[in-house]
Amino acid sequence: MRWTGLTIMLLILVGCAATQSGMKREKRRPFNPAEYKFLQLSGDAEIEGQIMLTKPNGKKEFGVDCEVTLNPATSYSEEFYVKTVQNGIPIEEPDLRALKYIRKTVTNDSGKFVFQRVGEGKYYLYAPVEIEIPRGDGKTRKFNTYVHKTIYLHSGEKLKVTLTR
């Protein structure tokens, strides 16, 4: 009797673990260091931005305490941007060598963020956010997604951008 209870408990725990990690991640293309060789890690461009979210009632609210990522455009980063950011398809964690090229910051109480001393080039700018979507019964459901934009920076440029959803 005691072993039966332990066996059932073990099966329940294994089932919970399988459910939690049940979302399979697609394989990621191999990291190619040659793609990153000519990227400018710093420069004299700047990005000032703000995250604005629209509530189901039409009211606007700031994206407060959101982690904003600035990722230089390569075929490696484009795969994550297109699959995960734009389409919600999870892929494997990135190669650690790619992380030194990625910059992050956090929005303030007004949803604002800044990236300074950015090099010239094409970038993917994105932040995960939680939004509410209306249900048929008059209530709302919370949904995790991204606000995002592809940007192009020139030397000395001061770009203003709003990420909305």
Q: Where are the domains of the chain?
A: 2-164
- Of 79, 138, 127, 130, the closest CA to residue 104 belongs to 127
Encode 79-96: b = buried (16+ Cβ within 10 Å), e = exposed: ebbebbbeeeeebeebee
pLDDT at position 3 over 70: no
pLDDT of residue 23: 67
| Residue 19 clears pLDDT 50, i.e. is over it | no
Between CA 113 and CA 153 the distance in angstroms is 16
150-162 confidence digits (pLDDT tens): 999 999 999 999 9
Q: Is pLDDT above 50 for 11?
A: no
Instruction: Identify the CATH homologous superfamily for domain 2-164.
Output: Immunoglobulins (2.60.40.10)
Structure confidence at residue 117 as a pLDDT band (50, 70, 90): very high
Rg (CA), the chain: 20
Question: Each residue of 42-60: pLDDT tens digit?
Answer: 999 999 999 999 988 889 9
Residue 22: the pLDDT is 55
User: Taking residues 59-70, what's their average pLDDT?
Assistant: 96
pLDDT value of position 153: 98
